[in-house]
Structure 1
Amino acid sequence: MDVDVDAVASELYGLVPAEFTAARNSHVARAREAGDGEAARRIAGLRKPTLGAWASTLLVRHRPEETERLLHLGHALREAHRTLDGARLRELGHRQHAVLAALARQASDLAAEAGQPVGDGVVREIEEILRTVLTDEQVAGQWATGVLERAPAASVGFIGLEPEPTAVPTPPKPGGTTARKDRPQALEQEEGEKEEQERKEREKEEREKQRKEAVAAARRRAERAARELRKAEEARDGAGRRLAQAEDRLADLERRRREAERSRDQAREDAEAAARRAGEAERAATAAREALERLAGSG
């Protein structure tokens, strides 16, 4: 029976990344047992997703309505770019910032619910993935399958889209917040420069925030390393003291062993001398007894 590799991939990329490799290897083994070597090869080629890629696809699996709205927003943005609808682009562009931030937070919450909390860096990666989903139709299609290995290359502008040859920039509609009737070109340029400056300021603030977070993280790591060093030094000093005490005890035991050996040797010598004296005394006593008996017998 042929193995459905797409179904296997969908299952694997829905797992917490820590469970991915073991589950993939199990599917490879089952495909081989089923005699489907090609499926086994393709499944073995699947790579564990990054936390950001995995968390972003949780939206596809658990937030289908929000996913559909994001895909529609991307389609509308790309269509406005294709038709040079400036007013529509500005309207949708302002909306996308709030949408991306909200969806990135939702993805972070879903990851935590799945038992895999993610940090601020991963949340930013999720937001970049979703931004690329808006601008790149191919990435949007891949992401919508729920199977994404890693964050796609960050896009600048709209990928693969050039304005239609017959497209003419759409004049702003009168009325409403986007109306620009009879607005001088210089004023529009000034507003564009202002928006660009604001964007740069936001990016600068974000970079500064990231720098401060990195400094704080580095400081925490340095403090943790200093604590570990102090503990290691204390353990080293304690072990040194115990070693010195053990060596002192060993030297004392060695000294007492030598003294005991000398006492043993001396006792052996004393015992041998005493045995010799006892033998001599016994022989003398025997001789004296024999002499006494002879004298008594002769009388």
Structure 2
Amino acid sequence: MQRKNARGSGEHDVEGLLDKVYATAPSDFVSRREELAAEAKANGLVEDARLIHAARRPALAAWAANLLLRSQPAESRRFLELGRALREAYRILDADGIKELSEQRSSIVSALSRQAAAPAREAGHRLSDAAQQDVASTLRAVLADQDAADRWAAGRLERALTPPADFAAGTAAPADAPQKPARAPTAQRLSRTPAKDELAERRRQRQKQLAQARKGATTADQQLRRQRAEQADADASLQQARDLRDQAREEYQRAEHDQQEAEERCQAAADFVTRAERAAQEARQEVQCLTNPAR
């Protein structure tokens, strides 16, 4: 574990080591952290050892959210991009637009939170209903808040995140959303003023951002459906492999039993042959004695 001249240029820089620590399951977190901290200290990297030792074991839901980020990098990038589009859309959209995007957001968050359970289960940890709810809460926070998105993107959450209440509701227009202008006199409506040009431009930008947000939500939803289908296929293949393994085990046990019985029969037959040979030998000797009696 040697570092080159610049931080991060070595094969095992402290950021990479911290990533390894936070990728470790909660049950093994402390031992892995202390192992890497001791290794850094032994190599003279005292500050790195201090930073590693300061890492705090994440709650199960936070670890699952971190694991989801690492196990689904492309999907996670799209999710972060969707969050950026949604936050911008929420800032300028009217109530109907927010409601539509909120419905898509709920579907995507629900699917991703379920998807997070798969890598956690493969790592030996099943998520309870409460833990999955905490994962969903974290994902909603990532969509709603830039700071939460940055923290999740770092992959080192220690606790589940909570979304802001105003964004989570998604049923009312934001305070700074553009309002319809009051109806002006006819003479004023005949001429285009800078204010009207600005309002028209804001409306065009709003429609453009709405289209981008809808496109991002649709793409993410389609990707999640494909991911769910692939996961279902993988689960079916895993179950089939388990069934074949169990069947093979049963057949192996039957084969061992048959082999044992065959060996026992073979041994019994060999014993019988030995006894028969001995009896035949004794009979031949008796015939010889009777045929050539001693004189």
Report the TM-score, using the length of structure 2 for normalisation.
Answer: 0.52
Amino acid at match of 2:178: V
Partner in structure 2 of residue 93 of structure 1: 102
- C-alpha separation in 1, matches of 2:155 and 2:179: 36
* Percent identity (aligned): 38
Whose Rg is larger?
A: 1
Aligned counterparts of 2:87 and 2:31: Cα–Cα separation in 1: 40
Pick from 24, 36, 45: which aligns with 1:27?
Answer: 36
Does the 8 Å CA contact 1:52/1:151 hold for their aligned counterparts? Answer: yes
List per-residue Cα deviations over 1:214-243 (Å, max 9, x = no partner): xxxxxxxxxxxxxxxxxxxxxxxxxxxxxx
Q: 1:117 to 1:90 in 2, by over 3 A?
A: same
AA aligned opposite 1:142 = R
The 5 Å alignment of 1:1-299 reads 1=3, 4-158=13-167, 168-169=178-179
Give CA-to-partner distance per residue, 1:61-96, whole Å, 9 cap, x none.
Answer: 111232123212211211012224434322210101
Change (3 A) 1:136 1:94: same
Name the Cα RMSD after superposition. Answer: 2.7
In 2: Cα distance, 1:85 partner to 1:34 partner: 58
- Say if 2:141 and 2:148, in contact at 8 Å, map to a contact too: yes
* Contact residue 17 and residue 50 of structure 1 kept, 8 A: yes
Task: Note if contact 2:120-2:127 (Cα within 8 Å) is conserved in structure 1.
Answer: yes
Q: Distance in 1 between matches of 2:180 and 2:148?
A: 28
> In the alignment, what sits opposite 2:253?
none
The one-letter code of the counterpart of 2:19 is S
Tell me the number of residue pairs that the alignment of Structure 1 and Structure 2 aligns: 170
Secondary structure, in 3 states, of the residue corresponding to 1:117? coil
Which residue identity is paired with 1:134? L
Contact 1:133 1:139 in 2 (8 A): yes
- For the Cα contact (< 8 Å) 1:17–1:54, is it kept in 2? yes
TM (norm. structure 1) is 0.52
How many Å separate the matches in 1 of 2:137 and 2:76? 15
Q: Give 1:112 deviation, angstroms.
A: 0.7
| Amino acid of the structure 2 residue aligned with 1:89 | I
- Measured in 2, the distance between the counterparts of 1:98 and 1:153 equals 18
1:157 aligns to what SS in structure 2?
A: helix
| CA distance in 1 between partners of 2:132 and 2:80 (Å) | 19
Q: Which has the higher contact order (CA 8 A, sep 6+)?
A: 2
Paired residues of 1:13 and 1:147 also in contact (CA < 8 A): yes
Q: Which amino acid is 2:160 matched to?
A: A
Cα distance, 1:164 vs structure 2: 9.3
Q: What displacement does 1:56 show? A: 1.2
Partners of 1:85 and 1:170 within 8 A in 2: no
Check whether the contact 1:32–1:40 (CA below 8 A) recurs between aligned residues: yes
In 1, Cα distance between equivalents of 2:163 and 2:99: 21
Spell out, residue by residue over 1:87-139, the C-alpha distance to the aligned partner (whole angstroms, 9 max, x if none).
Answer: 43222101011111111110012211111111111011100010100111111
What is the letter of the counterpart of residue 6 of structure 1? E
For structure 2, the residue ranges without an aligned partner over 5 or more in a row are 169-173, 182-202, 205-295
Does the 8 A contact of 1:73 with 1:92 survive in 2? no
Bigger mean CA offset, 33-42 vs 148-157: 148-157
Structure 1 residues 12 and 169, CA, compared in 2 at 3 Å: closer, same or farther? farther
Q: What amino acid does structure 2 have at the position aligned with 1:63?
A: Q
1:13 to 1:46, Cα distance in 2 relative to 1, 3 A:
same
Match of 2:236 in 1: none
Seen in structure 2, the aligned counterparts of structure 1 residues 121 and 12 have a Cα distance that, compared at 3 Å, is: same
Structure 1 unpaired stretches of 5+:
174-299
